[in-house]
Structures are given as C-alpha cells and as structure tokens.
Amino acid sequence: MENGEKTKCLVAARLHRHHRRRAVNCCALCAPNRPGESISEQWHVERVPRFIDFQFDRDPISTKEVVVPKSMETFLGRPHCVIFVVPDRKVLVKKDLIDCSDLMEKANKILSEGCETPLHAKSSLLKLAQALQNIDLAHTPTAPVKVVTKYGKEEVLSFFEMDFLKATTWFSYYEEFAELNIEERLDLMQAIWHVFARLYKLSTAAMGKRRQMCEEQMLMISHDTEYTAMDLTKIEFDYSWCTKYSNEQMQHFIDNTSNSFLYKLVDYMVDLKPSDAELSFMICQACLQYAGQRFQGKMMEICEKFQMKLANDLHDFYVDEWRMPNYSGRLSLMLRINNKIKEDIWKCRKKQEIADIFDVYCIEYSHPEIFRDI
C-alpha cells in the first residue's frame, strides 16, 4: 500500500473511533478517485450527506415538521423586559380613526329639540313607559324577522348608532333629565347608552322567545324599525377591521358565544315578563346607578335624586294601578337582573383595560367616552 493510500486509511480509522459509529467505509474512502475529481470533492459530495443522514435522520419522528409556538415576545412584537409595561404612546403604530362627530350632532339635535311627540301621564315613570311603547310600535308589524349571518364593521357601527340614538330619544321624554343643561345630558348619554341597549336587547330577546318569533337558539334584537335575529354560536364575526388578532384570540375580549349575558339572562326576563313601567324603571335604575359610580361628585347626587323619584313612582304604580301593595318579589327579581347586567359591565371594563395595555385594537374613536365599558 502506497503512502497516499495509507494516509487515507488512517484518516478513516480516526473518524471511526471518534464518532463510535460506522459512519465512513474505509474501503469506499480508499477507492480510486473519479477522473478530474479530488479526494476532498468526492468526500464532500458523496460521504458527508450519508453521514448527516445517519447522524440526524435515524429517528422517524424527528423527520416530521414541528411547528414551534410563537413566544409572547414574538406574538406581541415587544421585548420580554417591557411586555407588562404600558408602551409610550408616541411610538405606537398609527390607528384608524372612527369619527363620531356626526353621531354626537344627531344626539345634540334630539336633546335640544326635546321629545318628538308630547306625552301626558301621571308620573315621569309612566311617561317613559309610554315612550317605550312608541319605540316598539315604530317597528314594522308585518315585516319578517331578518336573520343576521355576518357581523362585521358595517353591522357593528350601524347597531352602535341605532342603539345610541334610540337611548337618546327615549331619555328625551324624561322630564327631570331634560332639566339638566345640554352638556350634562350629552355627557350622561355618552356614558349610559350602552346600559340602556343591554336591557332593551334583553327585553326584545325575551319577547321573541315568548312569541316564538325566531328559532330557539337565536336571539331577537331590534335594529332601527325592524327586528333581527342572530345565533351567536354560528354567526360569522369579522374583527379584521379593528384588530390584528384572530377571532379565537379575541374571544377573551369580545364574548360573542353562548356565555353572552343575553343567553344567560333571557330566561329570567321571560319569567319576569315586565310591564313597560317596570322595564322603564329597570333601565333608569341601571343607567343612573352606573352613571353615578362613573362620574361621582355632583353627578352622583343628581342620579341618586332621580332614582329616589322613580322609586316613588314605581311604588305608586304598583299600589294605584296594579293594586299590589306587596311587590317585593317582583322588585327583587328586577334588581337581580340589573345586578347581573352590572357584573357584565365590570367584566367588560377589566377586559378593556387589558386590551389597552397590550394594544389589542388598531382603531381609536374621536369620542372615546362613548365606547367605554361596552
């Protein structure tokens, strides 16, 4: 054996002892080179891939592609050391602006001009009850219930506007509320419209269930002058206009599943079957209590005064109209529903605070107070 071949055998033996495997075939390595190809080139082309396959591909499980979950840093696009720190607003990505100026102008006009049709009743509560009847009568009686299958930007903003203006119109019939200056009334409406919307939606859903106006799993709600129905467990939600996260990731912040307060409380409202006067009291009590806790100070005193007057009106209604001096059972159930609504609002506030910290939404509003706690 010549010197060159001896050298090749020594190299192969050392590699074999180093790796403890039969990774290299000495005889193959000692074979004559192909014409025009050096030893190093032949080693690189033929021997190294076999060695790599033997070294790393012997376990079939390891050949499968493994999807590594995103780290929290990658998911949020922020370093680990500042994940739980509120980011500097100057360095945030520019958000799309939802301009609510036209909506506020419409509300200002409604409150400035006062109620559309003068109503006469014994008390403020009964006057609000008549106003609630007018809202219900405004719906087209022969129109079929429209089924909503998609809920995206257009539908969300449309429902927001209709609910806000409906609440503003209804409160314009409240005499004591009309005595406040226009700025105070607008501030109150920005705060309490969504409380009104929650209870009115709950009442409408209960009515649809009692009258069997839609399928069992569906919830009937009001939109302008028509009734619509939706199944929150099957409807197609589109959040791409307001966030970069998927629907599954947004479930923590927007609970549009069977856990929604509408599904949880609709049976309570069906059992109660409140009159217009009782529903008006429930709406006012929930709205005014929420506004007082939100604004504090002078506004809290005003709201407490309004609640006391409405409580007296409700007592007179039970005693004089229904001849029911013992109404504690019904009042207890009414306040129980209101407390559940209150709990849902506080949950929304906590979720909103987390969403603000992690910059979940890619939109902002010209009047952010309107969309607080919704």
pLDDT at 161 over 50: yes
Q: How confident is the model at residue 48 (pLDDT cuts 50, 70, 90)?
A: very low
At 295-332, the pLDDT tens digits run 999 999 999 999 999 999 999 999 999 999 999 999 99
Helix, strand, coil distribution of the chain in percent, nearest 5? 60, 5, 30
Residue 32 in any domain: the answer is no
CA separation (Å) from 289 to 129, 177, 371? Answer: 19, 14, 18
Give the pTM: 0.77
Residue 10 in any domain: the answer is no
pLDDT at 50 over 80: no
Residue 105 in any domain: the answer is yes
Residue 40 in any domain: the answer is no
What's 341's domain CATH number? 1.10.565.10
Dihedral (CA of 147, 152, 154, 157) sign: positive
Residue 235 in any domain: the answer is yes
Residue 363 in any domain: the answer is yes
Residue 76 in any domain: the answer is no
CA separation (Å) from 199 to 54, 86, 123, 278, 364? Answer: 69, 34, 22, 12, 26
Residue 6 in any domain: the answer is no
At 232-288, the pLDDT tens digits run 888 899 999 999 888 888 888 887 666 788 888 999 999 999 999 999 999 999 999
- Domain containing 157 equals 98-370
Pairing of strands 363-365, 96-98: parallel
| Number of domains the chain contains | 1
Name the average pLDDT for the chain. 83
